[in-house]
């Protein structure tokens, strides 16, 4: 009996210790970051229905990679709300763009794009709504560069400042190599991206209807090896990834089965392999999820 009692006591102790560790989110996140001293990792997490948050390196500036496509989407919806464009109207897809560095032209290559299919439609009319979906769901670079002109790039910083995202910069189209090498890059912080996703979730972007449409598009994301990989199967995540050499990001809105929601952004720099960065993003995502139980 003593052995049984002792074993039971030990089990309860271990269970209690495990629960404590699971709920120690700051400690878990700090240990994850400490395990990767050669890399830079930023985390911004905030509950949308209750008072809970965590921030690490949230003001660190990163190359935005494809996360800049979220502000572009906001810009397109804003233009539609002002009557500048119609989502149903066909738009002739082109593959010639102007570098912000020197005004020269450049084109994108299908083999370097995650949505090669759209290149078959160059010169054809494609509904703007389809271009927006491709930009977010498949991270289409060609759709992005076409939409940036429609969204009026100069208006995007104004929209971001209205949200409070004062440090995010959307300067140029994708694959503008001359501008890239000159340091003229799209940049963001985890904090700014969090504010954008939070504003969309709370229907504070353009309109409630527009915000819901943006959430629906983000929910259809096809690249799910980051935040969703750390969550129980079937958990809904309205998010956008972004990656280039040694850069891998993911951020969005997590919607639990009980309807509660939170915004989470994880930005990384310095991982040689994207798969390693994605595993860390998933690990952070799991830690946040488990801290809520």
| Residues spanned by the domain of 191 | 27-291
Answer whether residue 74 shows pLDDT above 90. yes
Q: Which residue, among 245, 234, 229, has the nearest Cα to 280 in the 3D structure?
A: 229
pLDDT band at 169 (very low <50, low <70, confident <90, very high): very high
Task: Report, as an integer, the average pLDDT of 119-127.
Answer: 97
CA distance 288 to 293: 10
User: Is residue 211 included in any domain, yes or no?
Assistant: yes
Supply the pLDDT for residue 245: 96
Query: 21 lies in a domain?
Result: no
Dist CA 129 CA 138 (whole Å): 14
> Any bridge partners for residue 47, and if so which?
262
CATH number, position 270 = 3.40.710.10
- Among 19, 6, 10, 27, residue whose Cα is nearest residue 284: 27
Question: Does 236 reside within a domain?
Answer: yes
Lowest mean pLDDT among 54-68, 80-94, 97-111: 80-94
Asked whether 270 and 38 are in contact (CB, 8 A), the reply is: yes
Sorting pLDDT into bands at 50, 70 and 90, what band is 150? confident
Around Cβ 136, how many Cβ atoms within 10 Å? 27
pLDDT at 14: 39
In a domain, 88, yes or no: yes
What confidence tens digit (pLDDT) does each residue in 10-64 have? 434 434 443 334 579 999 999 999 999 999 999 999 999 999 999 999 999 999 9
What is the helix (H) or strand (E) element at residue 244, kind and residue range?
strand 236-244
Mean pLDDT of the 52-77 span = 97
pTM metric for this prediction: 0.91
Task: Identify the DSSP state of 234.
Answer: T
For residue 284, tell me if it sits in a domain. yes
DSSP-assigned letter for residue 119:
G
Query: Is 101 among the domain residues?
Result: yes
pLDDT digits (tens, 9 = 90+) for 182-192: 999 999 999 99
The three-class DSSP label of residue 45 is: strand
Within a domain: residue 165?
yes
Instruction: Read off the pLDDT of residues 263-277 as tens digits, 9 standing for 90 and up.
Output: 999 999 999 999 999
- Report residue 104's pLDDT band, with 50, 70 and 90 as the boundaries: very high
Of 217, 4, 208, nearest to 129 (Cα)? Answer: 217
Say how many domains are in the chain: 1
Instruction: Give per-residue pLDDT as tens, 105-115.
Output: 999 999 999 99
Is 107 within the bounds of a domain? yes
How is the chain split among helix, strand and coil, in percent rounded to 5? 45, 20, 35
């Amino acid at each position: 009996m003593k052995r049984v009692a002792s074993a039971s006591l030990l089990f309860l102790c271990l269970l209690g210790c495990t629960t404590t560790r699971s709920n120690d989110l700051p400690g878990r996140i700090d240990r994850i970051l400490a395990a990767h001293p050669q890399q830079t990792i930023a985390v911004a997490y905030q509950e949308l229905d209750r008072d809970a948050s965590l921030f690490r390196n949230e003001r660190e500036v990163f190359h935005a990679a494809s996360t800049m496509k979220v502000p572009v989407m906001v810009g397109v919806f804003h233009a539609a709300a002002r009557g500048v464009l119609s989502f149903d109207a066909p738009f002739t897809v082109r593959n010639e763009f102007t570098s912000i560095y020197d005004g020269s032209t450049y084109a994108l290559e299908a083999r370097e794009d995650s949505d090669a299919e759209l290149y078959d439609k160059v010169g054809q009319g494609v509904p703007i709504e389809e271009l927006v979906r491709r930009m977010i769901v498949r991270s289409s670079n060609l759709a992005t560069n076409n939409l940036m002109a429609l969204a009026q790039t100069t208006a995007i910083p104004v929209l971001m400042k209205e949200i409070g995202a004062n440090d995010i910069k959307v300067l140029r189209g994708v694959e503008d190599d001359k501008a890239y090498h000159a340091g003229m890059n799209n940049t963001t912080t985890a904090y700014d991206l969090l504010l954008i996703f939070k504003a969309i979730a709370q229907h504070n972007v353009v309109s409630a209807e527009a915000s819901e449409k943006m959430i629906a598009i983000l929910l259809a994301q096809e690249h799910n090896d980051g935040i969703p990989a750390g969550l129980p199967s079937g958990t809904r995540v309205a998010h956008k990834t972004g990656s280039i050499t040694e850069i891998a990001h993911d951020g969005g809105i997590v919607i639990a089965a009980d309807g509660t929601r939170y915004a989470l952004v994880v930005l990384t720099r310095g991982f040689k392999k994207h798969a390693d960065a994605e595993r860390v993003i998933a690990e952070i995502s799991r830690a946040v999820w488990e801290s809520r139980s």
